[in-house]
Structure 1
Amino acid sequence: MLARLLFFLIPIFYLSQSVYRTELVQYTDGLPSDKVFGTFKKDNFLYIYTQKGISVFDAYVFVPHKDISSSVYFATTDKQNIFLEETGKGLIKLNNVHSKLEILYPVNFRDSNPNNDHFENIFFNDNKVWSTDFNHVKYFDLKTKKQKSFLIDKKNKDLKYNFQFIPSKNGLLMFSKFGIFEWDKSLDKISLVKRQNINSATQLGNDIFVTSPDAWLGKLDAQSIIPKQVLLTTSAKFVQQPISNNLLAFYDEHQVSTFDVKTNKIQTIVQSLETINHVFYDSETGIFWVSTNNGLLKVFKEQNKILSINLNKPVPKIIADIVEDPLGQVWFADQQQLIYCETKQKEIETFPISGTPTRLSIDGQMLYVATDVGIFRKKINDNEPFEKVIMSENYKAKLAKVWDSKIWVLPDSGPIRVYDLLTFKELPTFLNNNKSFFSINLFNDLVTKDDKMWLASWMPQDFGISYFDKKSKAFQQITKIKNNHDSFVADYYNRAAFLQNGNVIFSAYGGWNIVNPDGVIVKSMNTREFKIGNDNIQGIAQDSKANIWFGSGEGLYQFNLKNDKTTRLSKIDGLASNDVTQAFCLTKEDWLYFSSEYNVQKINLKTILRTELINVLKLTSIKANNENLDFGENEVLKFKEKELNQLDFHFSALNFADKDKLIYRYRINNEEWTYLGNEPKISLVKPVAGDYLVEVQVGDNLGNIQPRTLKFKFDISAPFYKTWWFWLLSLLLVAIMTFRFTYFLVQQEKQKGILKKRAKENENKMLRSQMNPHFLFNSLNSINSFIIQNKDKEASRYLTSFSKLMRKILDNSQKETISLKEELEATKLYLDLEAVRMEHKFDYNIVISDDIEPEDISLPPLILQPFLENAIWHGINHKNEKGHLEIRFLRDVDDFDLINIEIEDDGVGRQRASEIRKSSTHKSYGLEITKGRILGLDKKNQVEILDLYNNNSVGIGTKVLIKIMNRHD
């Protein structure tokens, strides 16, 4: 136990200036209640306890704990769990706002002891949750699940007192209005160290600092206590988180301040009209979170890497040009007839000049200034006034550049002027360009290095990049060197600068070009192709890392030559204006100076692109149908598709300082990235069933992507009618039904086929039965005719042939198919009989191609006889001359199994035969019956009858074409 305590007097001095900025977060921004009692950080999230429970804040959204909605006055964390008191419930433990709460010690309003209903000033130490009530300090042991109380003041009836705990060697030191107490861990007892009214206490290193309602601040020592009056408010309380090794923060009801323990100086951070309840300092971000009765105040230092330069300008005028001299000094041309110099000591010196300056240039130790009345110069290392060396009576000078012992002057219009460097006399005939070169074009910039001079111009009839040729003493356009018109980005070039490798870069309206020393364009940057916000590109330069920097009407850009990537700086990064089209200068130390409207700023390019990302990315909340869900880390949430209308995922990089500079993107199941801008939220409307893997990345506005990514999974189950097993069973059922139905159809088709086959057989028999009597009748008539005419021998021979034919017909008619050989035998017998009947009025010829073996060809029986009969009796019979019948058997050229049969006669033709038949009462069915037989046997079978004519269109015969499949029966 401490025997004596000493408080040293600390003389205090207040500082009035402040570099802090404030943002007020209120109920309208999503804060559950404007009455905020305190904050703390856990897992990089900011936890806020208010009149409406406890919530987590990720810099974008507030997510409340759904089961804690009453006032939470006190809360703390051990980095693993959160401990708090909720009015009406008691002492509570939880892991985060998404976890279930555990009531460690409930309130009891039914007993007579009011101390059981309060847990104020909560503090965690050594597995014990400490708190206070009206009369006691107490702890709840998380191991034993028991509570123990120690009496502090039995007469106290006020709960609103501050009680602070600081770990000590023996256990805990406790500071309150009742005095200083110490809890001895080994004895588990509390003893009074000093009866001293203490407002607040905090530890800095090995020292403990305290404040008192008597308005003094002291440092605790092991010797004694000497309170002395100093300049503090009576309610000053320490912020428990030190600012640095030397800096503490404290607050009262309306003000937050810092105290430097070494210099004893106090600086006011922020003042508030609303009552301040609590202040938390976040050492990672440097933010003060000030809890008030009217919202949460965010107080932070401006981290501006873009510095404004105060030139003490008397009248707002544009800075026209900026250059650096060999001494590292930076010169500024003010259109208010002033020249400024920023020295190496960062002091600003001012030099008046008798003219309105336009451009500056350096030659060794001499500064040259082009003005509307002439050219001035002065040494860079003295304070002598400017000397006017060239008078411009009929033009205004835009730029004066020293090169090759001459002063080269670009006028606002007209020819380029050249002056002798020693005499300052003009050399009017030095340049050999024709008059149109000077009258048509407008000249904007000259850059020189060693023996090279380059000119940037506006050339309406050409392109504006030229170089000076010493031999011809004339400026030559680079288009004369190589026809590379497609590589130019414009015809209006305004600035030029040398690159590290000796190339020259020219800025223009529309982009820029890089030209090698030989005048060949080696790279082009088009503003449309690279999505630059504005075509007006003015200043341009290259830094020590070979990056190209250029100003535009929509901000400052960096172009990385290694990957062709652009990065934009704008007002959000600290630019005074997005219009960066005035003066532009990059120093040897990579400081970029530029002017925009009435402001002059500078940037350290070595640090500006450093990211502010803290390599944290976490899931804040998940909403299903606009309801917050509880979830654990790495938990795979399950959803049902039919119950899900919308899923919302909120996440954050937890960068409370520069959230507007962050850019988020996500992808699902390794598909293409989708960019979200600076709103870290994914909304899925009516998501379909499936397993989802979501990956989120965050980068800053400078194009840096932080290494840490956020990955989470969730599953959406389909309704039973969309599940694989349902579809499998359905397909199986359909397959079974299809099989059964198909089997039924196949059986039906088989039965139909059998019936059709039988019907066809019966039909063929019927057809043959119709044909056989017809032929028999005609043959018997012929025999009868021979007998009447007493031609016994002819009748006998005819009858013999007839009997052979009838035997073949009777044999063949019982068969489905016969060989071509058999068909030919019957055919020859038939033709011979018909020839005898007609008294040899015709002859015939049968031709069989070499690739046909008659024994191997199977045909239906009696298919030729009707066509032969028709040719003989309706064609040749009506002819006065002797007729001829030609029968040919050929293989089809496209189908080997298809036999082509041609029957050609030289009779009177079908038209004449038709006229003759009209007078006859006989009607022949054989031809149509046979055609029906042939076509019904196979879909490839064909029958075609062609009429043959002479040159006078008189019928001279008929040709029958039959295509019939070899049936292989």
Structure 2
Amino acid sequence: MLVFVGLPMCVKADLQPIRNFSLSDGLPSNIVLDIFEDSRGLVWLATDAGLFEFLGEDIKFRKELSRLQGERINSICEDEKGNLWFSARGVGLCKFDGNKLSIIQLDSVAIENDITSLIKSSTSDNLILASSEGVFVCDVQNSKLEQACDSCKNPVLKIRQYQNKFVANGLTQNRNFEFEIESGKVLEYSIDSNLPNVYFGLQNDPNTLKDVLKSGKPFTLHTNTGKKFVCDVTEVEENEKLGFYLLRYFEKDIEKQKIVKLTGGLLSDLSVEKMLGKYIINTIFLRKGYDELWLGTHNQGLILLQKSKFAYLDSDLLGLQNSLIQDFISDKQGNFIVASRNEISLIQDFKIKHSLKAKDLCRLCNGKFNCSKNLSIYKLAVDKDELVWISTSKGFFTVNTNSFQLEYIGITPAKNFVFTDDNELLCFWQNQLQFYTKSGLKSQKPIFEFLKSATIDVSKMIATDSSIWISTRQKGIVRYENHKFSIFNRRNSNIHNVINDILVLPDSTIIAGGNNGLIYKIKSKPNKLVVVDSITSLDGLMGTSIQGIQYLSDGSLWCGTNLGVHRFEYNSWGNESELQFNFWNSKGGYLDQTGEKSIIDENQNIWVKAKNRLLKIETSPEIGKIFESKISLKSIRIHNEDWEADSTQVNIWTNAPIEPISFKYDENDLTFTFGFDFCQNDSNVRFRYLLDGFDDKWSNWSESPQAVFSYLPSGDYILKVEGKQLSEGVVMPFGFQIKVKTPWWKTWWSIMLSSLLFIGIVYLAMWLYTYFIRKREKARTKQFNRLIGLKMKSLQNQLDPHFIFNALNSIQSYILEEQKEKALEYLSDFSNVLRKNIGNANKDFISLSDEIAYLRLYLKLEQMRFSDKFSYEINVNASINPYKYKLPPMLIQPFLENAIKYGLVGSEKKGNLDVSFELEQDGYLRCVITDNGVGRKKAKGLHEDSNIKIHHKTLSITKDRIKLLNKVQNNGRVYGYSIEDLADGAGLPNGTKIEIGFPKQ
């Protein structure tokens, strides 16, 4: 039996992680002399290189303060109007109203060049200035300086106000004093034997202790090591829960510092706990609503003592001499047993009570083997009897944590093992899984052996009531169920072969993760595993290597990755709603991403085994919770150029929009950049937005803090933004109105004016159109009237008395000659001719078929009248449909009459009259009249009488008709006719040829 040897230890927690912000991070100077938060929540840094706005992870350079770049700014304060006041060495007293920097000319050049500290008096409009020449009251309205009091002439380093009194810290020891301006009362403090006593680690009266620390009185500080110092306080930062104080003390005339923290009545030494002794601290700063302390140092820039959910227990404090931690467990009493490769420690109340070396284990082997150099500790587990089992390369050992008795069991070496529901051990050793009883006998259960070709690494083993689950980093998941081993991986279950961790939830769901950036949700079926869902980067998972999966009683699922720690709301996984999660990375305090195994203690906190330390994660949602930051508008760009805002549109201090922000109609290519007002972890924030009035749904959550809109239509919109810090999970809303003005040509007055103008133009156009239509119709009517008149004249000429008289004579002759049939036939044809003449006189166009029928009747009458003096023939080209083509009536007949009367009748030979109709490609119809009469020249000599004049009059009327038809009826081609004299082979006249053209109707 061996007993653990005692060793003291404590766990580091609360404000543990330290973050620096220096030149390499964008800080203009590593000398930070003052940190100030104004009434708007803006944080300002007074540095050795100027005055700058601090955004938490970034510096904002205000161009209005460019005059002070490179100048030393000592101190900052704010007046009741929100103006900033600060002192700049070599420049003097400065005022900044958010828009303009003013240099206040004081009546003392020495004072304005050497202001070490300044504050705004709470009882007047004056500033209180501290300098190497003492303390002065500054009337800023008149730029006048007055000594604050008769004894206020010693050099002063810092000045502050407490209970309507001013506390001044002199540059040297024993030079502190307090004073009141109105009464002129001065109280100087000196070191004497009656100084108040202040102790670390002891409960003090908080009100008395606060009064001592804030009053400016010297006091005696008693440390944990028994030393004591005479101290005074140069800076105070407090909130409702705690206070931080920057102390100053002297050792052998050398000034030194301490930062102390007061919680309740307990005072602690942060300088020792956080190892801050190497820093020269100029100022301390506690932001409103936060518990995290910022330090402005002399050469190290800014230091943040960060509140965190993460606390670390290093292996050197565990007595493991910087060894890598192999495994750790906890029992029901809250004890931790931590094992390195060759050492074990028992921890109670965060102090090491007992420890064992490998050689201590070997003493129990009774010389069975030499293990002092070769024994390696692999795995720890607690059985149902609260007995701790230790697997090693030489077999099993057990230890009772109550009596601390250690025994050697043997059985088998095992790199990993688990207790089954029937209290046996399933051990993994040299690629083999085998069951053993606790007494060391091999079980009758089957043995499972992996192929010898690869070394298998078992990452975790879990035993449930009916199954045993083994995750491996080469072969996926192994299940033992119903006396049978089964392997599930990519080949048969769509599960990655590398599984780093596995967990079985109360509802029998299996959660597993490997190195592929997926967390599997798996259901077990008789012969297979079914992946029912997974968490990926699309759901918010960051990192690829999944380790340390745990499920807590509050329904949260935790895991670590190579990038940070995740907390998922398990009930939101798989619902239609968005998966709810939190995430912490290195800037949130998770400084070691090498964690593998994890356990849950009795307080539902998670402990993670890293390489050479333990990590405690306090899972309570209130632990590490900070004040909820607000989202603010950072900038606006129009067509990729910065928008210069003025005080009428945005607040010149915070850039907060004064609603609505109005843009011109052509300023519609917009980029809005937003962010949290004081963000300490830009990589851990997400945003989404919706432009109400333009978008139908929210954008996806994104790391990008920008909302981009190209060619935004004119209108009124509300830009809604939601942001969340993943470490908090709280969605913060933000929104403001924007307006893209309507272009002038779309305004109501422009539309009305344009409408009136359009109506006027339309009215004028319609009037002109109507005027010209009427004018044209009037002309057309006149032409038609002339045309009708000519048609009537043509009808009259065709029905002249000679024609009628000749026709009647012919009928009389047939009757006298007793040719009754011919007389009747002639009379019938004559009446048809008269009827068609009268009928066609009222028509503008008739079909070619009707015209041919009329011409046949007319030629037949003339043939009978002249006793068959001539013959005639009418031919129509086969391509012509006589019923389709239209032509004016009474236009061809005068030419036929002329050919018969003056060409054929006067000829001694029998005459021939041919009429043919031809069609051209464009639909132009040609009527060709050919006769073999005497010709026009001889006919003129033979007929020098009145009839020829009548004939000329008829042709003249026909010509006028053709001209009028061309004016009112043409479609590109024109009506026309031509007459050609024909001759025989000897050149003698042999008739005429007439061509009449008709455009297509």
TM-score range, shorter chain: 0.5 to 0.7
Which one of the candidate residues 289, 305, 308 is aligned to 2:310? 305
Query: Structure 2 vs 1, CA of residues 635 and 22 (structure 1 numbering), >3 Å: closer, same or farther?
Result: same
Secondary structure of residue in 1 paired with 2:843: coil
**Structural mapping, 1:473-622, within 5 Å:** 473-475=483-485, 488-490=494-496, 495-507=501-513, 511=518, 512-515=520-523, 521=530, 523-525=532-534, 527=536, 530=539, 532=541, 537=546, 539-552=548-561, 555-564=564-573, 565=579, 567-580=582-595, 582-587=596-601, 589-607=603-621, 611-619=625-633
Distance 2:512 2:338 in 1: 22
Judge conservation of contact 1:290–1:299 (CA < 8 Å) in 2: yes
Tell me by how many angstroms 1:704 deviates.
Answer: 1.0
Distance 2:618 2:236 in 1: 36
Comparing 767-776 with 791-800, which one deviates more in the overlay? 767-776
Query: Structure 2 vs 1, CA of residues 766 and 600 (structure 1 numbering), >3 Å: closer, same or farther?
Result: farther
Tell me by how many angstroms 1:803 deviates.
Answer: 1.8
**Structural mapping, 1:392-407, within 5 Å:** 398-404=416-422, 406-407=424-425
Tell me by how many angstroms 1:766 deviates.
Answer: 10
Query: Structure 2 vs 1, CA of residues 636 and 554 (structure 1 numbering), >3 Å: closer, same or farther?
Result: closer
**Structural mapping, 1:240-389, within 5 Å:** 240-242=236-238, 248-251=245-248, 256-258=257-259, 268=271, 278-282=283-287, 284-286=289-291, 296-301=301-306, 303=308, 305-308=310-313, 310=315, 311-314=318-321, 316-317=323-324, 319=326, 321-325=327-331, 327-332=333-338, 334=340, 336-338=341-343, 341-343=346-348, 347=352, 349-351=354-356, 352=358, 355-365=375-385, 366-369=387-390, 374=395, 377=398, 379=400, 381-389=402-410
Judge conservation of contact 1:625–1:645 (CA < 8 Å) in 2: no
Judge conservation of contact 1:363–1:402 (CA < 8 Å) in 2: no
Tell me by how many angstroms 1:555 deviates.
Answer: 4.6
Judge conservation of contact 2:470–2:478 (CA < 8 Å) in 1: yes
Judge conservation of contact 1:58–1:620 (CA < 8 Å) in 2: no
Judge conservation of contact 1:765–1:813 (CA < 8 Å) in 2: no
Comparing 620-629 with 443-452, which one deviates more in the overlay? 620-629
Q: Which amino acid aligns with 1:474?
A: K
Comparing 73-82 with 685-694, which one deviates more in the overlay? 685-694
Judge conservation of contact 2:329–2:380 (CA < 8 Å) in 1: yes
Comparing 75-84 with 244-253, which one deviates more in the overlay? 244-253
Secondary structure of residue in 2 paired with 1:66: helix
Q: Confirm whether residue 408 of structure 1 aligns to residue 426 of structure 2.
A: yes
Distance 1:528 1:357 in 2: 37
Query: 1:942-961: per-residue Cα shift (whole Å, max 9, x none)?
Result: xxxxxxxxxxxxxxxxxxxx
Q: Which amino acid aligns with 1:604?
A: E
Judge conservation of contact 1:93–1:102 (CA < 8 Å) in 2: yes
Query: 1:264-302: per-residue Cα shift (whole Å, max 9, x none)?
Result: 886637869998665545464345555566685334246
Query: Structure 2 vs 1, CA of residues 492 and 578 (structure 1 numbering), >3 Å: closer, same or farther?
Result: closer
Q: Confirm whether residue 390 of structure 1 aligns to residue 411 of structure 2.
A: yes
Residue 981 of structure 2 corresponds to which residue in structure 1? none
**Structural mapping, 1:908-919, within 5 Å:** none
Tell me by how many angstroms 1:399 deviates.
Answer: 2.9
Q: Confirm whether residue 448 of structure 1 aligns to residue 463 of structure 2.
A: yes
Which one of the candidate residues 418, 424, 436 is aligned to 2:441? 424
Distance 2:43 2:882 in 1: 109
Q: Which amino acid aligns with 2:463?
A: T
Tell me by how many angstroms 1:239 deviates.
Answer: 0.5
Judge conservation of contact 2:394–2:412 (CA < 8 Å) in 1: yes
Residue 81 of structure 1 corresponds to which residue in structure 2? 82
Query: Structure 2 vs 1, CA of residues 728 and 174 (structure 1 numbering), >3 Å: closer, same or farther?
Result: same
Tell me by how many angstroms 1:699 deviates.
Answer: 1.6
Tell me by how many angstroms 1:700 deviates.
Answer: 1.6
Distance 1:272 1:685 in 2: 55
Tell me by how many angstroms 1:543 deviates.
Answer: 1.9
Judge conservation of contact 1:456–1:464 (CA < 8 Å) in 2: yes
Secondary structure of residue in 2 paired with 1:704: coil
Q: Confirm whether residue 699 of structure 1 aligns to residue 705 of structure 2.
A: no
Tell me by how many angstroms 1:167 deviates.
Answer: 3.1
Secondary structure of residue in 2 paired with 1:810: helix
Judge conservation of contact 2:339–2:377 (CA < 8 Å) in 1: yes
Q: Which amino acid aligns with 2:441?
A: F
Tell me by how many angstroms 1:238 deviates.
Answer: 1.6
Query: Structure 2 vs 1, CA of residues 490 and 120 (structure 1 numbering), >3 Å: closer, same or farther?
Result: closer
Q: Which amino acid aligns with 2:735?
A: K
Residue 909 of structure 1 corresponds to which residue in structure 2? none
Which one of the candidate residues 210, 235, 239 is aligned to 2:235? 239
Judge conservation of contact 2:661–2:737 (CA < 8 Å) in 1: no
Q: Confirm whether residue 468 of structure 1 aligns to residue 481 of structure 2.
A: yes
Residue 61 of structure 1 corresponds to which residue in structure 2? 59
Tell me by how many angstroms 1:618 deviates.
Answer: 3.7
Which one of the candidate residues 632, 635, 645 is aligned to 2:658? 635
Secondary structure of residue in 2 paired with 1:190: coil
Distance 1:811 1:504 in 2: 105
Judge conservation of contact 1:74–1:85 (CA < 8 Å) in 2: yes
**Structural mapping, 1:21-170, within 5 Å:** 21=18, 23-25=20-22, 29=26, 31=28, 36=33, 39-49=36-46, 54-59=51-56, 60-64=58-62, 66=64, 69=67, 73-77=74-78, 81-82=82-83, 84=85, 97-98=98-99, 107=105, 121-132=118-129, 137-138=136-137, 140=139, 152-153=149-150, 164-168=160-164
The size of the alignment, in residue pairs, is: 805
Distance 1:644 1:491 in 2: 55
Judge conservation of contact 1:648–1:682 (CA < 8 Å) in 2: yes
Which one of the candidate residues 785, 788, 799 is aligned to 2:827? 799
The TM-score normalised by the length of structure 1 is 0.63
Distance 1:274 1:373 in 2: 50
Distance 1:427 1:806 in 2: 134
Distance 1:85 1:675 in 2: 44
Distance 1:507 1:679 in 2: 28
Secondary structure of residue in 1 paired with 2:828: helix
Secondary structure of residue in 2 paired with 1:924: strand
Distance 1:406 1:722 in 2: 85
Identity of aligned residues (%): 13
Tell me by how many angstroms 1:478 deviates.
Answer: 9.3
Query: Structure 2 vs 1, CA of residues 604 and 309 (structure 1 numbering), >3 Å: closer, same or farther?
Result: farther
Distance 2:119 2:673 in 1: 31
Distance 2:124 2:820 in 1: 143
Tell me by how many angstroms 1:515 deviates.
Answer: 1.7
Secondary structure of residue in 2 paired with 1:81: coil
Distance 2:188 2:417 in 1: 80
- After superposition, the CA RMSD in angstroms is 6.5
Judge conservation of contact 1:640–1:719 (CA < 8 Å) in 2: no
Q: Which amino acid aligns with 2:838?
A: L
Query: Structure 2 vs 1, CA of residues 440 and 250 (structure 1 numbering), >3 Å: closer, same or farther?
Result: closer
Query: 1:639-671: per-residue Cα shift (whole Å, max 9, x none)?
Result: 765997998867553446555544445554474
Tell me by how many angstroms 1:305 deviates.
Answer: 1.7
Residue 184 of structure 2 corresponds to which residue in structure 1? 190
Distance 1:344 1:113 in 2: 60
Judge conservation of contact 1:270–1:299 (CA < 8 Å) in 2: no
Judge conservation of contact 2:34–2:74 (CA < 8 Å) in 1: yes
Comparing 796-805 with 112-121, which one deviates more in the overlay? 112-121
Tell me by how many angstroms 1:45 deviates.
Answer: 1.7
Residue 924 of structure 1 corresponds to which residue in structure 2? 917
